[in-house]
Amino acid sequence: EVQLVESGGGLAQPGGSLRLSCAASGFSFSGYSMNWVRQAPGKGLEWISHISVSSNTIYYADSVKGRFIISRDDAKNSLRLQMDSLRDEDTAVYYCVNGFSTVGAGNWGQGTLVTVSS
């Protein structure tokens, strides 16, 4: 069974940092691109970052570019998101997703809540 378990969320002050992790199991992690998607309270889904197989290609949404860094550790089946210079508008539930458009992809974790507030 595919499992994606996010952790690392919590309360941060504006300008602060948090590091999210996503532990993957039940599939060949190294063979899938990975993504972070967030959902602000009561709002829709926003894709924020992608990392390809072998970390060859990385993309960010403009809303987080220059502040967030995505990385992966295939040896540990783990995805990370380093979030710096946090803003109020970064408050959201953050989900990791193992790709979107291929067989076996499209799996979401349970999400981790990030609250940015003073």
Residues forming the site for another protein (CB under 8 A): 35, 37, 44-47, 50, 59-62, 95, 100-103, 105-111
- Tell me how far apart the alpha carbons of residues 68 and 62 are, in angstroms, rounded to a whole number: 10
Tell me the closest approach of the beta carbon of residue 103 to another protein, in angstroms.
Answer: 8
Distances (CA, A) of 5 to 52, 55, 65: 19, 20, 24
Tell me the closest approach of the beta carbon of residue 69 to another protein, in angstroms.
Answer: 16
- Tell me how far apart the alpha carbons of residues 10 and 58 are, in angstroms, rounded to a whole number: 25
Contact by Cβ (8 Å): 106, 97: yes
Q: For residues 47 and 78, which CB has a smaller minimum distance to another protein in the complex?
A: 47
Q: For residues 77 and 107, which CB has a smaller minimum distance to another protein in the complex?
A: 107
Tell me the closest approach of the beta carbon of residue 13 to another protein, in angstroms.
Answer: 27
Q: For residues 55 and 108, which CB has a smaller minimum distance to another protein in the complex?
A: 108
42 Cβ contact partners less than 8 Å away, ≥ 6 residues apart: none
